[in-house]
Amino acid sequence: MKKVTITTEFSVFENKEQLPSEIKDLMEMAIEVRKKAYAPYSKFKVGAAILLDNGKIVLGSNQENAAYPSGLCAERVAIFQAGAIYPDAKILKLAISATSDEKPVTSPIPPCGSCRQSIAEYEFKQKTPIEIFFMGESGEIYKSDSLTNLLPLVFDKNYL
């Protein structure tokens, strides 16, 4: 038996003011769209904003359902919408912001496992990394240069 060590690296911004202006604007859009989330069950609202290589921005917020598996996370709402409306565009950047009606969220909130797999599919499809910025409602913002930092052992079509 042998052991394998996998390491990842993130850039950390102390707050939104430290972000490059383009990313700060994208994060502000994620914050605004999270206010439109439909989250009556979890009371946990997430917003996502995607910048495409054609300059378009696509937004998404989480949409819950009483039958829990039927809902969708903000990241997948945005990424699937981008794929449907702009199928040939590449996703350059993804900004994510989360908040809770129950307690302050000051830690960066990364995409869930299902969202990571969906982002991985688009990163694989377009053959270029997607920069991912994520935060809570305030506080630090993490930047990942690629989805592979969040999901280093990604499952893709090469396994099929």
Reported as a single tens digit per residue, the pLDDT across 1-52 is 999 999 999 999 999 999 999 999 999 999 999 999 999 999 999 999 999 9
Is 3 part of any domain?
no
Is 25 strand, coil or helix? helix
75 in catalytic set:
yes
Is 4 part of any domain?
no
Q: Which of 9, 14, 22, 75 is catalytic?
A: 75
Is 15 part of any domain?
no
* pLDDT at residue 68 is higher than 90: no
Q: Which residues are annotated as a binding site for substrate?
A: 62-68
* pLDDT at residue 101 is higher than 90: yes
Is 28 part of any domain?
yes
| Domain hosting residue 92, numbered range | 21-153
Is 13 part of any domain?
no
With b for 16 or more beta-carbon neighbours within 10 A and e for fewer, the 79-95 pattern comes to beebbeebeebbbbbbb
Pull the structure tokens for residue 96.
């994510």
Q: Which residues are annotated as a binding site?
A: 62-68, 73, 112, 115
Residue 160: pLDDT band with limits 50, 70, 90: confident
- The CA-atom distances, in angstroms, between 7 and each of 4, 46, 111 are 10, 27, 18
Is 158 part of any domain?
no
Q: Are 128 and 94 in contact (CB under 8 A)?
A: no
Total of domains in the chain: 1
Residue 95: pLDDT band with limits 50, 70, 90: very high
CATH of residue 129: 3.40.140.10
Q: Which residues are annotated as a binding site for Zn(2+)?
A: 73, 112, 115
